[in-house]
């Protein structure tokens, strides 16, 4: 009886131990998966008051990005840095504020995931703010789409690492490029509530968003036509203006020469007429003989 009782107790203990092990295993596995699947989970003691992104598509194979931040410490503890995520493929990273370069740590997690720790120039106490900019180039080359006409499609997904009050996005298209228009309902710009202005031969597309939660990834898309090839610059003497000036100058010279000849001709004719009027009959006869004989006058004549 005792043996059977001990056996039952042992079985219960074994069963309980197995349950504990299974529960612990599930807990560890769940924690690990959650930590991995949410790489943008960062401490919430920092608030981003302003985040503005400017994408400069200088050429279809040359795209630079500048992201400016104004961050605030919302905790009663001193903060010396902020962690930011950039889930894109980038290179040539620069971090700076109004006084120059800042110290930062750049951790390339994957080809399209980067964690950047920005160290503030001075410590931030509660409610204090710091402003800085992160600049980089995209490892992106836009390939032409279609054939008549050719157009390009640019996509950008921004990573919101902390609660953000105000977010602005600006895309500068290449010079002499225009928004591509589709015959059907295919959107050329997304989100569609963007504003467009022309700024020094470049179209500037702007979006403004408010109150973005941590981990949100606002997505932007823009399709634009192939940039127009500018006419080749000609030397000044090959331009129409130069040809006009040369023609005008030649015309003026010809006109001046003609007028001068006409004046001299009339003066000569007038002097000849005056001279003949003042000569005697013998002098007139002598001049006629000289003229008829082409200056060869003998003593006899």
Distance CA 144, CA 153 (A): 8
Asked whether residue 93 carries a pLDDT value surpassing 60, the answer given is yes
Classify 50 as helix, strand or coil.
Answer: strand
> Residues 281-297: pLDDT tens digits?
666 676 666 666 655 55
* Tokens at 135, concatenated: 């600049």
DSSP reduced 3-state for 158:
coil
Edge-to-edge strands of the sheet including 219-225? 151-157, 219-225, 189-190
**What DSSP designation does 126 have?**
T
User: Do 155 and 169 form a contact (C-beta atoms < 8 A)?
Assistant: no
214, 162 contact by CB (below 8 A): yes
Task: Output 273 or 46, whichever has higher pLDDT.
Answer: 46
High-pLDDT (> 90) share of the chain, % = 55
Give residue 24's pLDDT band: very low, low, confident or very high (50, 70, 90). Answer: very low
How high is the pLDDT of residue 283? 63
SS3 22: helix
Q: What distance in Å separates the CA atoms of residue 72 and residue 86, rounded to the nearest whole number?
A: 20
Q: Is the pLDDT of residue 41 over 50?
A: no
The residues with which 81 forms a beta bridge, in sequence order, are 119
- For residue 301, name the pLDDT band (cuts at 50, 70, 90): low
Residue 176 near residue 62, CB atoms below 8 Å: no
Number of helices (H), then strands (E), in the chain: 3, 14
Omega before residue 191 within 30° of 0, cis: yes
Task: Retrieve residue 62's tokens.
Answer: 């040359």
Classified as helix, coil or strand, 11 is: helix
Domain ranges for the chain, please list them. Answer: 1-37, 46-225, 238-292
> What is the tens place of the pLDDT at every residue in 181-205?
988 888 999 999 999 999 989 999 9
Instruction: Note the pLDDT tens digit of each residue in 238-281.
Output: 667 777 787 878 877 888 877 877 777 776 666 566 555 656 76
- Residue 153 CA to its chain's centroid (Å): 15
What is the rounded distance in angstroms from the CA atom of residue 244 to the CA atom of residue 284?
53
Find out if CATH 2.60.40.1730 is the number for domain 46-225.
Answer: yes
Predicted confidence (pLDDT) per residue in 108-125, tens digit = 999 999 999 999 999 999
Q: Alpha-carbon distance 259 to 271, whole Å?
A: 18
Instruction: Check: CB of residue 112 under 8 Å from CB of residue 118.
Output: no
Backbone φ and ψ of 259, nearest 5° = -65, -40
Mean pLDDT across the chain, nearest whole number? 81
Give the pLDDT of residue 228.
78
């Amino acid at each position: 009886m005792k043996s059977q009782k001990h056996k039952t107790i042992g079985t219960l203990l074994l069963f309980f131990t197995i349950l504990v092990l299974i529960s612990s295993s599930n807990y560890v596995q769940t924690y690990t998966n959650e930590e991995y699947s949410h790489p943008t989970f960062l401490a919430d003691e920092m608030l981003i008051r302003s985040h503005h992104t400017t994408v400069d598509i200088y050429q279809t194979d040359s795209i630079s990005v500048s992201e400016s931040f104004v961050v605030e410490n919302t905790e009663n503890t001193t903060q010396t840095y902020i962690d930011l995520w950039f889930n894109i493929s980038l290179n040539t990273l620069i971090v700076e504020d109004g006084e120059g370069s800042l110290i930062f740590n750049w951790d390339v997690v994957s080809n399209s995931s980067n964690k950047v720790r920005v160290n503030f120039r001075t410590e931030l106490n509660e409610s204090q703010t710091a402003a800085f900019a992160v600049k980089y180039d995209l490892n992106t080359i836009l390939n032409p789409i279609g054939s008549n006409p050719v157009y390009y499609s640019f996509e950008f997904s921004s990573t919101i690492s902390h609660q953000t009050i105000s977010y602005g996005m600006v895309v500068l298209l290449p010079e002499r490029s225009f928004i591509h228009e589709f015959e059907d309902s295919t959107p050329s710009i997304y989100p569609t509530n963007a504003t467009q202005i022309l700024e020094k031969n470049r179209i500037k597309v702007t979006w403004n968003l408010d109150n973005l939660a941590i981990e949100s990834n606002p997505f932007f898309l823009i399709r634009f036509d192939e940039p127009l090839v500018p006419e080749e610059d000609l030397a000044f003497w090959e331009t129409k203006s130069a040809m006009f000036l040369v023609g005008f100058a030649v015309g003026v010279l010809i006109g001046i020469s003609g007028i001068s000849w006409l004046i001299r001709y009339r003066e000569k004719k007038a002097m000849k007429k005056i001279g003949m009027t003042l000569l005697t009959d013998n002098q007139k006869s002598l001049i006629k003989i000289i003229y008829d004989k082409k200056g060869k006058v003998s003593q006899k004549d």
